[in-house]
Amino acid sequence: MKEILLLKDGEIVLKGLNRRQFEDVLKKNIRTALYSLGRFEITSAQSTICVRPLSEDVDLDEACERVGRVFGIVSYSRAVLCEEKTMDAVIAAAPVYLEKQLRAAKTFKVEAKRSDKKFPLKSPEICRELGGVILHEYPHLRVDVHQPDVTVYVEIRDFGAYVHADAIRGAGGIPVGTGGKAAVLISGGIDSPVAAYMMAKRGLRLTAVHFASPPYTSRRAEEKVVRLLQKVSRYAGPMTMITVPFTALQEKLRDDCPEELFTIIMRRLMMQMTERIAHDYDCAALITGESLGQVASQTIGALNCTDDAADMVVFRPLIGMDKQEIIDIAYKIDTYETSIEPYEDCCTVFTPKHPRTKPILKFVREAQERAGFEPLIEEALQNLKITQITPEY
């Protein structure tokens, strides 16, 4: 039996004139996600994208998993392509292909869609005929048109007739890359990978920026960030990771700034430097994993001081979320277990005992200016490390 995947577009249906462009990006993202699984033909018609394996040995279970993480797809189904576009072929295929579901069910109904108007039977006739055959082959079943356990879908399209059961919910969102590019500040914590995932879902292509302070932070801490990004990239697609050498800046911070302002000035330096990198990488926004009130550097006052450091718009998708809500998403995208591995982050180096929760912007700016970070900023930006991230399945 020849199986195919049928994917329904999501919000891109709303985009009118841009629709073609959106669909092209979506198809490209699907192709990238499936690349290592074999060859596929990917076509689209009538808000359905059809994915047809071109080789025999394709792992279709894995293909479904991957397609389920591509943003822009509302739902998908695994369907059987009937031998021919005839009622006999539909009747031969459906009861066999859906045997498992039909045996487990008590009630069912058939729903037919006939977009090829040349097909000799009309939709109600298709339902009646196939329904009769299924009842005959599975006598334990009853028809229930309102709340059936299983719906058998028959679709007669231009390129063929196919049969499938209920669709599976897709990842939703907007195809990655259709909304532009953004730089995400990524730590090894729980929050920033979730923030990255959420903004990729809104169509942004990501560049990840990570600040490392060796020897205070270890090689393994950085590897942990790579592993987190490999997980995120199953949704966000391949991305570039940029590691910024932050040690000299943090040492200067320790030596030349008031202790209670360490964290806030560090956050400002991160934003400033990420903004510079963002310009070089064509990114038009910054993303952080900050959540209001979670720690001293995430109060309104502190966030105002952080925001002041960069001109670009800053997206903080977790700002109104509870920790548990964030953790639930981290579980869903499978980053949680990696995030809680106990390696130090540069944020935990030289943390003040009593950080200011209501910093005054004027004093923060003055303290930062007095210390004079510019030469060290330039030097760090000359020594960025670039790593290409691809999904880890």
Could you say which residues in the range 181-220 bind Mg ion, by CB under 5 A?
187, 189
**Nearest 5°: CA angle at 263, between 353 and 250?**
105
- By CB under 6 A, which span of 25-33, 134-142, 148-156, 183-191 interacts with ligand ATP? 183-191
**Which of ligand ATP, Mg ion, none has residue 295 at its interface (CB below 5 to 8 Å by kind)?**
ligand ATP
Q: Which residues have a Cβ under 8 Å from the Cβ of 146 and sit 6 or more positions away?
A: none
* Choice from 160, 170, 179, 289 touching ligand ATP (CB under 6 A): 289
Q: How far is the CB of 241 from ligand ATP (least distance, A)?
A: 10
Q: How far is the CB of 187 from Mg ion (least distance, A)?
A: 4
Could you say which residues in the range 83-122 bind ligand ATP, by CB under 6 A?
none
Q: Is 278 in the site for ligand ATP (CB under 6 A)?
A: no
CB 215 within 8 A of CB 346: no
* Nearer of residues 247 and 298 to Mg ion, judged by Cβ: 298
CB 391 within 8 A of CB 230: yes
* Nearer of residues 63 and 221 to Mg ion, judged by Cβ: 221
**Angle formed by the axes of helices 191-201 and 219-236, nearest 10°:** 20
Could you say which residues in the range 296-315 bind ligand ATP, by CB under 6 A?
297
Q: Is 185 in the site for ligand ATP (CB under 6 A)?
A: yes
* Choice from 58, 305, 346, 389 touching ligand ATP (CB under 6 A): 346
Q: How far apart are CA 318 and CA 198, in angstroms?
A: 9
Closest to 275 measured CA to CA, from 188, 142, 185: 185
Q: How far is the CB of 270 from ligand ATP (least distance, A)?
A: 6
Q: How far apart are CA 82 and CA 3, in angstroms?
A: 9
| Residue 21 DSSP SS3 | helix
**Which of Mg ion, ligand ATP, none has residue 211 at its interface (CB below 5 to 8 Å by kind)?**
ligand ATP
Tokens standing for 198?
């959420």
Cβ burial, residue 4 (10 Å; 0-12/13-18/19+): buried
Name the residue whose CB lies closest to ligand ATP: 189
- By CB under 5 A, which span of 247-255, 340-348, 362-370, 378-386 interacts with Mg ion? 340-348
Residues that bind Mg ion (CB under 5 A): 187, 189, 347
